[in-house]
Structure 1
């Protein structure tokens, strides 16, 4: 399976990834797939855990040294950040600095959102941080969030999530909440640029597949061209459709 073909990633694309439930995994899978004979930048405008050494070829955590790596002729995956904090997280780059680096790479993948490892989220006023140059925005929703309770354990940005979806504390997250999250101007694709691609992740069981098909059908009914493409599958199991 070629993930880049499913997501229609082309040379020259700047891809911003938002949402919850697979952003970092998807970013590095795409980067590895396109890195043969290409120079690929993986970075963040928020923060991510420092990747494993097997996930990249070059890493730079000092904005003053980007020029050195920009001018390298070697293909592969380059990871850029500002610095590493005491939690071993790579702190993101200010957009005005990051935008100056883009021309040196054939593909760029940006984790533009954070969810504190919670299944779903609502967005604060300053989130997400998406580059102006973005050509594709991938929004991720995990199907296994359906049936979970609206509370602090499951929702990052709880107040914002309830405002966007019309839910209340203690409610069970349902299909209506997900559809609201996808289409609300303050929801999943807030600040998005370029083509919007919805990815429904974590289809690990037959029940999940049936549930996702129903969800996709209902999203499609109200889409009217807002979302360019809807993809479902499981990064863990290695299938997409």
Structure 2
């Protein structure tokens, strides 16, 4: 099944994507599924690299010109940002600016978190940046982090990550570590709005599927209705499974 079907989306939904290990890929994959029958806004409240033109149909990278396509009827992916910096990164929009655009789109997809391309992260007090209009917060975890050392090479915001998980430098990330990251009040769903959806990514093989199920079972034992929906799968292979 497609991600859009497993998420049970409704027209007008605002989706904020947080975590690490596939946020940008998830955003563009979902946008692609919605592209031909909807007017879809993709944007960020942080910074993302300017994508190849195949990933969008229309773009405005100028916070003073966001009204240009308000009444355009064409379906497709509309990419919005404030500006383009020297790294060729799109500088994001404030939540207030994004919210002015909601009436003009069928769906709004927001990358609301940054991870410096590292596979896992902790969070400072001022992140993520999530619109109050968000209907679903998608928390991304990558199964590939299991067994990796807790160090600055693997972890963005290392000090914050250690405080959240109570794990120490050079310990190995395990199922208990990821479970604590999911449920801690300053963890993966910090400041989440709407339905909480956990997506475990990079489940690319049978062995990784078995490990992912172990992680899911541990999360379910501690859930108490905290997480509303859990998906596991592979953005690379476009294969997804709904667990709850």
Which TM-score band applies after superposition, normalised by the shorter structure? over 0.9
Q: Which residue of 1 aligns with 2:83?
A: 83
Q: Deviations over 1:142-200 (max 9, x none)?
A: 00100000000000000000000001011101111100000000000000000000000
Question: Equivalents in 2 of 1:203, 1:22: separation in Å?
Answer: 12
Q: CA deviation at 1:64?
A: 1.5
SS of residue paired to 1:98: helix
Q: CA deviation at 1:103?
A: 1.2
Question: Equivalents in 1 of 2:136, 2:21: separation in Å?
Answer: 18
The reply to whether residue 54 of structure 1 matches residue 36 of structure 2 is: no
TM-score by length of 2: 0.97
Q: Which residue of 1 aligns with 2:34?
A: 34
Q: Is 2:164–2:184's contact at 8 Å kept on the other side of the alignment?
A: yes
Please show how residues 190-229 of structure 1 align to structure 2 within 5 Å.
190-229=190-229
Give the 4+ runs in structure 1 shifted more than 4 A.
none
Q: Which residue of 2 aligns with 1:103?
A: 103
Q: Is 2:23–2:140's contact at 8 Å kept on the other side of the alignment?
A: yes
Q: CA deviation at 1:29?
A: 1.0
Q: Which residue of 2 aligns with 1:164?
A: 164
Q: How many residues of Structure 1 are paired with residues of Structure 2 in the alignment?
A: 241
Please show how residues 106-117 of structure 1 align to structure 2 within 5 Å.
106-117=106-117
Q: Which residue of 2 aligns with 1:45?
A: 45
The reply to whether residue 126 of structure 1 matches residue 130 of structure 2 is: no
SS of residue paired to 1:151: coil
Q: CA deviation at 1:2?
A: 1.8
Question: Equivalents in 1 of 2:102, 2:47: separation in Å?
Answer: 18
Q: Which residue of 1 aligns with 2:182?
A: 182
Q: Which residue of 1 aligns with 2:23?
A: 23
Question: Equivalents in 1 of 2:61, 2:216: separation in Å?
Answer: 40
Question: Equivalents in 2 of 1:70, 1:177: separation in Å?
Answer: 44
Question: Equivalents in 1 of 2:11, 2:197: separation in Å?
Answer: 17
TM-score by length of 1: 0.98
Q: Deviations over 1:76-100 (max 9, x none)?
A: 1100000000111001001111111
Q: CA deviation at 1:37?
A: 2.6
For structure 2, the residue ranges without an aligned partner over 5 or more in a row are none
Question: Equivalents in 2 of 1:238, 1:61: separation in Å?
Answer: 29
Q: Which residue of 1 aligns with 2:64?
A: 64
Q: Which residue of 2 aligns with 1:138?
A: 138
Compute the RMSD of aligned alpha carbons: 0.8
Question: Equivalents in 2 of 1:15, 1:157: separation in Å?
Answer: 24
Q: Deviations over 1:4-29 (max 9, x none)?
A: 01122221110000001111111111
Question: Equivalents in 2 of 1:147, 1:37: separation in Å?
Answer: 41
For structure 1, the residue ranges without an aligned partner over 5 or more in a row are none
Q: CA deviation at 1:205?
A: 2.3
